[in-house]
Amino acid sequence: MLDWSLIAPLLMLGMGTGFLAGLLGIGGGMIMVPFITIILTLQGVEPGLSIKMAIATSMSTIVFTSLSSLRAHHKRGAVRWDIVRQLTPGIVLGAALASLGVFAWLNGQWLAFVFAGFVAFSATQMLLDRKPTPSRTLPGTAGQFAAGGAIGFLSGLVGAGGGFVSVPFMTWCNVMIHQAVATSAALGFPIALANALGYGLAGSSVEGLPPGSWGYIFGPALLATSITSVLMAPVGVRVAHALPVQTLKRVFALILYALAAFMLYKGLST
């Protein structure tokens, strides 16, 4: 089982993840994945498997974090439930395609480069604060289904909650930033649930899994990080609603640049 000396770092990791989930509507997976990878490697898990397990485990924590963050945002009336209903079917399909199939065989190096470029572009657009065309609105049902599919698919491949795609997409369509962050938190639940089920089923026959695992999901780390992430998510929500829009956009852009840099590093080192 998990070394007890690692419980405290996992609890602290969950705190940071939960705060970011509430503040920016992201799951914090790109922060959690490197640390869980190290922890699993120290537990004797083969490096390639430890990366997949870290992605799956970090995504699974978002099932709990998103509910806590969603509850706090919903109390403030910031969630656009009409958008949630339109994007969710595509998200579930995209997540299933990623976690049940592509996750196992796709070349991670090229994925990392494409992902880093896309995220850096999104961050630049938000940091420059280029105003979207005033007449631009969210696309119709088919367009939102396609957008949801892309969000769910990308999230499933990298173990993130989807806010890195959904928030820029919504703000580009003239959705207010606070509503975009809140709606992204709501979307985190179907993203995480669909992917977690896929990771569990896809990894059920994999050899070399540590005790306490369900497929690619490492149960002890999931439990430890979920406890504190759920507690910290409402704190992030309070900070998000206290910040002015421009400040929130700048913070979000800096987080996106960090994600892009990390993915570029992973691609170059693969």
**Alpha-helical runs (H) found in 106-162:** 108-128, 141-158
- List the domain boundaries for the chain: 4-269
Say which residue, 122 or 39, is predicted with more confidence: 39
- The two tokens of residue 218 are 């490492």
Total residues belonging to the chain = 270
Q: State what percent of residues in the chain have pLDDT above 90.
A: 8
pLDDT at 86: 93
Residue 189 near residue 70 (C-beta atoms within 8 A): yes
pLDDT at 115: 67
- The two tokens of residue 75 are 């109390």
Residue 66 near residue 27 (C-beta atoms within 8 A): yes
Cβ atoms < 10 Å from Cβ of 193: 18
Best CA proximity match to 165, nearest among 4, 14, 27, 20? 27
CA atoms 32, 36, 268, 149: torsion sign = negative
Q: Please return the burial class of 236, using the count of CB atoms within 10 Å of its CB with bins 0-12, 13-18 and 19+.
A: buried
Tell me which DSSP letter residue 101 carries.
I
pLDDT, tens only, 53-80: 888 888 888 888 778 778 878 888 888 9
d(CA 270, CA 262): 12
pLDDT at 161: 66
**Per-residue confidence band for 7, with pLDDT thresholds at 50, 70 and 90:** confident
pLDDT, tens only, 105-160: 665 466 567 667 767 877 786 677 665 566 677 888 899 999 999 888 888 877 66
pLDDT, tens only, 170-182: 888 888 888 888 8
Residue 155 near residue 102 (C-beta atoms within 8 A): no
DSSP string, 15-36: HHHHHHHHHHS---HHHHHHHH
pLDDT at 132: 56
Residue 68 near residue 18 (C-beta atoms within 8 A): yes
pLDDT at 71: 81
pLDDT at 135: 65
